Structures are given as C-alpha cells and as structure tokens.
Structure 1
Amino acid sequence: MSEKLRDTLIELTNVDRVEELWQRHCELMAGYGFDRLIYGFTRFLTANSLGDPNDFVVLTNHTPAYRKGFVEDGLYRHAPMVRWALENEGQCSWAVLVEQMSAGQLDEKAQRVVAFNLAHKVTAGYTISFKSVSSRAKGAISITAQPDMSQADADAVWKEHGQDIILLNNLVHLKILTLPVPLHNQTLTPRQREALEWVGDGKTMQDIAQIMGLTQATIEKHLRLARETLNVETTAQAVAKAAFHNQMYILEA
C-alpha cells in the first residue's frame, strides 16, 4: 500500500460528517476518472421489496434530473445493475449490459432504464455490491466514468487501480454506517432524540419527564412527533429506526 493511499484511508476514517465524507469520496473517485456516483443502502430489504424509498440512504453527485428519474420516479426498481447488486457481492463492469442487450436478455422496463442512462451520458462504469451482514440490509454503489470515457477505458483503469478503488469504496460504505445520515424529512429535533434515547434506555414516561424536566404530556408529544417524523406507528419502531440511521446517542445533533 502506498503512503498516499494509507494517509487517505486515515483521513476518511476520521471524518465525522457524512456530507464531508461523501464530498471527499467523490473527489477521490473523480481522480480515477469516475466523476458521478450514486450510493444506496437499505436496512429494510425483503424478498419482494427494497423497503420504503423514504428510508433509503441515497448519496449522489449526479444531476438533480438524474436523481429524480432514477430514484424518486422509481427507475432503480428495473435497473439491470441494481438487480445484479441484489443478487451478488463484489464488483461488476457495465460491459455485462452490452452482453445482456446483445443476447436480448433485457425486458422492456430494463431497456427503458438503459435509454434513460444514455440520455444522461451514464454509459460506462462499475457497480460495487457490498457484503451484507443481515438479510434485511443491502448496500451498493455505481461509479460512472467520465462522458468521454468508453467502457474499455473504464476497464483499463480498473485493471490498474481496481483494488484500490474497491478498498476506498468498502471503507466509505462502512464509515457511512457509523455516521448520522440525514434522511428526507426524517430529521429528529434534539428533544425528540433525547426522549427516544431515554426510552431506549428503558426509562418510563414518569422517569423521562423527571429527567428532562418536562411534563409527561410534553414527553408524549415529543415521542408522537418523533413517530410521525420517522413515519412509524410505535415508539419501539421509532427507537429502532433512529438507531439504524445513527440518529441516537450521537455526540453532535
């Protein structure tokens, strides 16, 4: 391992904000010629669904138009490389898409995703599917080569630097799992967070009211708003979801 790479890894492990981590990672990948990234992670995977899109952790430096079409409008559900990531672990060149298209293996919905990508100059790159430690969790990242690069160019870069790229992406993925991740309209207030933390510690409503110096009615209000913010029905679900996304027991709210 080179001294430069070692220093970079140390730098990344010491980052304490996901926004800073993501910006630095995008810069690093751009240095290899992969200038557009989209990372996705869910803890709510089932046999038939990736879970509620509002619960996904999605980080990207693609254009807003690309994110809207691919994520918010749901094209990801039919993306061939997303399917690959769900069924595999490791890395895959997008050259497989050419092979699938040539063999007539892409259905109409998948072809629509390919056409969307072509329109946004997302034509060459790699997908990395991270190793899962839970049947409900899955994370992956797609790194898109610069518009002037062909898949052959991307494969040449990978042949020379692929192991370093995998190492950097694996580390960033693991680091993201330790950081508070802001979700769409699901950020807790300090009071909501504190109330959930005391519930997580096994305290009663009476205990929490005394500890926080508030009435039980006010504590119930904070917990109700926390449930609404996190889009869950019970306080136990709110505690679990907040913990999943590292929104509890954090040093800085």
Structure 2
Amino acid sequence: MTDTAWTYLMDMDGVLVHEEHMVPGADAFISALREAGNPFMVFTNNSIYTPRDLRARLLRSGLDIPESAIWTSALATAQFLDNQRPGGSAHVVGESGLTTALHNIGYVLTDREPDYVVLGETRTYSFESITKLIRLVEGGARFIATNPDEKGPSPEGSLPATGAVAALIERVTGRAPYYVGKPNPLMMRSALRTLGAHSENTLMIGDRMDTDVRSGLEAGLQTILVLTGISGEHTAERYPYRPTKVIRSIADLVDHVKDPFGA
C-alpha cells in the first residue's frame, strides 16, 4: 500500500489532545502529514465550539490546525439540514458552534413552528429549554440531535451530554432523534465530500470503538485505534468488530504516514 495517497480523518479528544494538553507526538504527526502532502481532517462530536474556537484551543496546546481542517458535529448537522430542507427553520438548544453553523447555511432560528428542533451540547441545559423542546416535538417539529454522547468530561467528573438529554426528550415524546454525529457514518461521508476524497484511500483514527471505529467501518474506511483515550486494548476485544490496526499512540505513525499499515 506504499503508493496509496492516504487521507487522514482523526478524532480530536483522546487522539491529539486531552482536555487542554497535547498528546505527546501529535505535533510531529501533523507536521509529518503536511510534509508528505496527505490531506487530513480533525473531528469532534462536541458541537459547542466553532472551528475558530477549536483552532485557538489547539494552538494553546501546541497544535497548528487550520479552521478548514476541523469538522464538528455542528457543521455536519448544518450540512445535513441544508441538504434535507434548504432555507428552513429550527429551534436550537446549544451553543455558538451550532447556532453559527445553522446561521451560515441561511437557517432561521425560531421557536414559532420550526421545521426542526436541534439539540446540541451545552453546559447550561435548563428545565425550561428542555420543556420547550419537548412541546415543539409534540407539535410536529422534526427532532435532530448533533451526537449521541451520553456524558462528557469535566475536572469535577462526568457531565450529562446531548445523548442523555435526547433520551429524556424521547422518553417524554415517544419520538427518537436523528443523530448526525458519530457513530453515524454520515459525518465521515460529509467530510470526505468536503475534502474531495474517496473512502478506499481514507483512514479514520480514533480512541473509541463505539463511535470512531464504528463510524469509520460503516463509511467503508480503514480504521486505527489509539490507546491514549477511552478504549483500551482489552476493551476493543469485547466488540464484534475490530479496527484495521491498534497502536499505542498517534506518535507511532509519525514515521509511517505514507504507509500506516506497513508500519
């Protein structure tokens, strides 16, 4: 496979960074991709931040990633809605990453008979906002959620995330949301279209079997699991599917970006 010009898709948290700290070797890996001319895209299921926000966060950790190479579940959700119902309307529970993405596709944000309700990540879920969303779903709005992650990290411990709040709304309304983010392979395919890449020459690097590896497999990509995040080597053995390759860290690929599966 040494002649294959690989396109790299990679998760951000657990692969390149831990919270505000760079995973050792991540900067050397990004430099190696640039030197070899391999296209790449950095993924996150978190819909709170815009690509500009995330670029600034990555720069503080020592990683220089352009905005154009950052793909969020908010951007994927906006692209999905633009394809489904161009120029539509939505009621949003989320932060600037999501509202900015929807504004940029020309969506009107409203709580008056919206086409969709869109649930994203926020640190300030309120009973009032959840109740409003429930009533709009009961009134016929289509239910979209940016990602199914049930919890997120914080210095004090776990926080309820989009998937947990979506489950509450589903329980009340009887209507399940359509999740756009990983493990939905739609997020991978939308990134491939943005890059102009093909699945047979693309690989996905992630730290989670249930989202990163699964979405990569279902999008027809080669997959690499790194052991610097959520899933450990023994965790991976419990799943009915396997990644193409398991490595300790992204640093192991620095000298092998042209032939990652021959390393």
Same fold (TM > 0.5): no
Q: Which has the higher strand share?
A: 2
Greater C-alpha radius of gyration: 1
> What TM-score do you get using the length of structure 2 for normalisation?
0.25
> What TM-score do you get using the length of structure 1 for normalisation?
0.26
